[in-house]
Amino acid sequence: MTAILTRRAVMMGAASLGLLAVLPRRGFAAAPVMLVLKDPNCGCCTAWIEILEAEGFDVTVEASAGVALSRYKLENGIPIEMGSCHTGRIDGYMIEGHVPVADIRKLLDTRPDAVGLAVPGMPYGSPGMGPEEARDAYDVHLIRRDGSTEIFTSYPAA
């Protein structure tokens, strides 16, 4: 038996393909969305954001500096000693400083009852702060809701 393509069959097939293009696809997660507050002149913050975007994050940047940025950090549960140069918010969690993408994904997967993650200061070799193969040792801290912290991940010196 020979299949004959009719005009109707072609039109129905084209309509089906068009409908598939606009319907949400199951099994494909939306890109994680993060808001980052940072000094507009900070190059290391921009480098960290570029890493996030290259890893599939949808990042919106808002310029902030000085007292306004410090106030934002404190109001959102980031202890002074955990401070760094930029602050992100993603899916209810705060991300302070040069936190690696793998740790952000782990946080979002495990969903601990916490404020978020922080890499205090600006350790050399952390994402956006120079080559990883020359990094200094640093820790990623989990910030608990009571302000206490614990080590989430440790990165040894390279």
What pLDDT, on the 0 to 100 scale, is given for residue 42? 86
Q: Can you say whether the dihedral through the CA atoms of 112, 116, 121, 125 is positive or negative?
A: positive
pLDDT per residue as tens digits for the range 126-147: 999 999 999 999 999 999 999 9
CATH number of 31-155: 3.40.30
pLDDT per residue as tens digits for the range 33-49: 999 999 988 889 999 99
- Judged against a pLDDT cut of 60, whether residue 54 lies above it is answered with yes
The pTM of the full predicted model, rounded to 2 decimals, is 0.81
pLDDT per residue as tens digits for the range 104-133: 999 999 999 999 999 999 999 999 999 999
What pLDDT, on the 0 to 100 scale, is given for residue 154? 98
Of the candidates 98, 110, 85, 77, the one whose C-alpha atom is nearest the C-alpha of residue 140 is 98
Average pLDDT score over the chain: 87
The whole-angstrom separation of Cα 112 and Cα 141 is 13
pLDDT per residue as tens digits for the range 74-91: 999 999 999 999 999 999
What pLDDT, on the 0 to 100 scale, is given for residue 4? 61
> What are the residue ranges spanned by the domains of the chain?
31-155
